[in-house]
């Protein structure tokens, strides 16, 4: 069984849905198609929810009407048969009736999750209607009946496998299923989600649950590039990555793949392919257990980083000092990306400053605190890259013009990370590309 996940840009226009239809009917292998919301929908739903949270029902209503108008125009172009067009109109009426009803309901976080779920439900229902119009046999599979997370927001893989297996058994002989990415149920049975980029995660979890032959992630880019194509000219797709390399790149800024989607593939050992809906014949990127070569494969950058320096000549050498520092971040559920230490200071970085003021307040009991916001982590990734001869020298020879704030070397065999101010990000990526690839 093959899993094929299509992102928002891949389903964002009627003609794109027509291209997906061609891709999913190329062969007779059983497939589960995982769809994101139409491009722009999740942002629009977030804006509706934000307006409601502020009590601005007039603004929420305006945004609901604008989104409905977009969908009405979408189905006019998508469907030609009056019978199926009518079904699509009824589907839109059902979901936008819900969005209009919530204008009269008190806002809550549970309601927010209900609002955000509408995007994937709409995209899959409309695609299912389109497939029916095209006389393509399939089953619309509700993700809310099998995708679940526990009280720690971790996916319940065993439960997902059991529930999904039962649903598939009901439809034995069916070769095509359409389901939603991103949405799930939480430990309370409420509608929830796997956070931004969660459709990749959904596809990977589904692939793990059904022992898939491959999990294909279809976007508008031909695989993972060796640098950011928005910043660096003449980047190239990386044809092959091992799981460790892909995980480092995804976590440290490569936008094409959700970082969490790697671990199910790694744990259950199924390959992942990153492919381009607009260029379906391009080889893309294959991610699997073994690496095909050592050395630098790609460079990625992660923005919105905050650096925190704790200076304390009195306490740094004291037993348990670092543990106490890390406990502060654990208390506020804030993960740390990079860490460096000296005799009198500890520097570290975080990518979530939600609780920054609380963290600073507690850290001040250990010493003086310095904060640098608007930083960027630039990561050089490749299999056993930390062992590559003279690589560190090449990195710093390339960056003689750049003030480097921190360096992380040796924590991972597959990653060398440096911290620079965001204003130096583009120049850093360009210089590294020239120094390491040219």
d(CA 278, CA 221): 8
Q: pLDDT grade, residue 313 (50/70/90)?
A: low
Annotated binding site for ATP: 5-8, 219-220, 230
Q: How confident is the model at residue 316 (pLDDT cuts 50, 70, 90)?
A: low
pLDDT band at 63 (very low <50, low <70, confident <90, very high): very high
The percentage of the chain sitting over the pLDDT mark of 70, rounded to a whole number, equals: 99
The three-state (H, E, C) secondary structure of 303-336, written as one string: EEEEEEEEECCCCCCCCCHHHHHHHHHHHCCCCE
pLDDT band for 343, please (50, 70, 90 cuts): confident
For residue 33, the model assigns a pLDDT of: 98
150 vs 292, residue with greater confidence: 150
pLDDT of residue 407: 93
What mean pLDDT is predicted for residues 142-171?
A: 96
Domains belonging to the chain, first-starting first, are 2-220 (3.40.1160.10), 297-436 (3.30.2130.10)
Instruction: Give the chain's mean pLDDT.
Output: 93
Mean pLDDT on 315-330:
83
**pTM recorded for the entire structure:** 0.90
- Asked if pLDDT for residue 196 goes beyond 80, the answer is no
What would the mean pLDDT of 99-117 be, rounded to a whole number?
A: 95
Residue 57 is predicted with a pLDDT of 96
Q: Minimal CA–CA distance to 221: which of 299, 300, 277, 281?
A: 277
What's the pLDDT score for residue 170? Answer: 96
pLDDT at 292: 82
Cα separation, 93 vs 68, whole angstroms: 9
State how far the alpha carbon of 295 is from the alpha carbons of 146, 362, 382, in Å.
41, 41, 5
pLDDT at 433 over 60: yes
**Banded pLDDT at 55 (limits 50, 70, 90):** very high
State the pairing for strand pair 183-185/176-180: unpaired
Mean local confidence (pLDDT), 120-138: 98
Alpha helix stretches (DSSP H) within 171-291: 198-209, 243-251, 262-268
Binding-site members for substrate are 42, 120
Q: What is the pLDDT of residue 314?
A: 66
State residue 322's pLDDT score.
87
Confidence grade of residue 317 (pLDDT, cut at 50, 70, 90):
low
Between CA 425 and CA 431 the distance in angstroms is 10
pLDDT digits (tens, 9 = 90+) for 161-184: 999 999 999 999 999 999 999 999
Annotated binding site: 5-8, 42, 120, 219-220, 230
- What is the spatial distance between Cα 150 and Cα 127, in angstroms, rounded to a whole number? 30
For the segment 385-389, the average pLDDT, to the nearest whole number, is 81
Q: What pLDDT does residue 201 have?
A: 95
């Amino acid at each position: 069984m093959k899993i094929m996940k299509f992102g928002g840009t891949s389903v964002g226009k009627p003609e794109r849905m027509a291209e997906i239809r061609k891709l999913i009917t190329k062969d007779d292998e059983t497939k589960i198609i995982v769809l994101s919301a139409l491009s722009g929908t999740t942002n629009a739903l977030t804006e509706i929810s934000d307006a409601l949270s502020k009590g601005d029902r007039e603004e929420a209503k305006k945004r609901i009407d604008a989104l409905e108008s977009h969908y009405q125009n979408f189905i006019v172009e998508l469907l030609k048969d009056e019978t199926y067009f009518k079904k699509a109109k009824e589907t839109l009426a059902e979901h936008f009736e819900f969005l209009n009803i919530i204008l009269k309901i008190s806002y809550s976080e549970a309601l927010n999750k209900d609002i955000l779920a509408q995007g994937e439900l709409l995209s899959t229902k409309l695609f299912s209607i389109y497939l029916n119009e095209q006389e393509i046999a399939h089953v619309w599979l509700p993700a809310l009946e099998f995708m679940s997370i526990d009280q720690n927001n971790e996916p319940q893989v065993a439960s997902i496998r059991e529930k999904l297996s039962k649903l598939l058994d009901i439809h034995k002989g069916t070769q095509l299923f359409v389901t939603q990415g991103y949405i799930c149920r939480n430990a309370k049975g409420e509608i929830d989600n796997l956070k931004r980029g969660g459709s990749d995660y959904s596809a990977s979890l589904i692939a793990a649950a059904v022992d898939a032959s491959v999990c294909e992630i279809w976007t508008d880019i031909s695989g993972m590039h060796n640098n950011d194509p928005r910043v660096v000219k003449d980047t190239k797709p990386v044809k092959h990555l091992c799981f460790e390399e892909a995980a480092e790149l995804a976590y440290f800024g490569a936008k094409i793949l959700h970082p969490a989607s790697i671990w199910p593939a790694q744990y259950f050992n199924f390959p992942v392919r990153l492919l381009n809906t607009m260029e379906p014949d391009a080889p893309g990127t294959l991610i699997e257990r073994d690496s095909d070569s050592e050395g630098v494969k790609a460079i990625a950058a992660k923005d919105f980083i905050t650096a925190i320096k704790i200076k304390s000549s009195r306490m740094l050498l004291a037993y348990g000092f670092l543990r106490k520092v890390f406990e502060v971040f654990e208390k506020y559920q804030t993960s740390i990306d990079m860490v460096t230490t000296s005799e009198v200071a500890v520097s570290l970085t975080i990518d979530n400053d939600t609780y920054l003021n609380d963290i600073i307040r507690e850290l001040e009991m250990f010493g003086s605190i310095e904060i640098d916001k608007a930083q960027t982590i630039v990561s050089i990734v490749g299999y056993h890259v930390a062992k590559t001869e003279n690589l560190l020298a090449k990195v710093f020879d390339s960056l003689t013009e750049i003030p480097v704030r921190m360096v992380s070397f040796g924590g991972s065999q597959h990653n060398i990370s440096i911290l620079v101010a965001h204003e130096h990000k583009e120049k850093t990526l360009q210089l590294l590309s020239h120094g390491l690839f040219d």
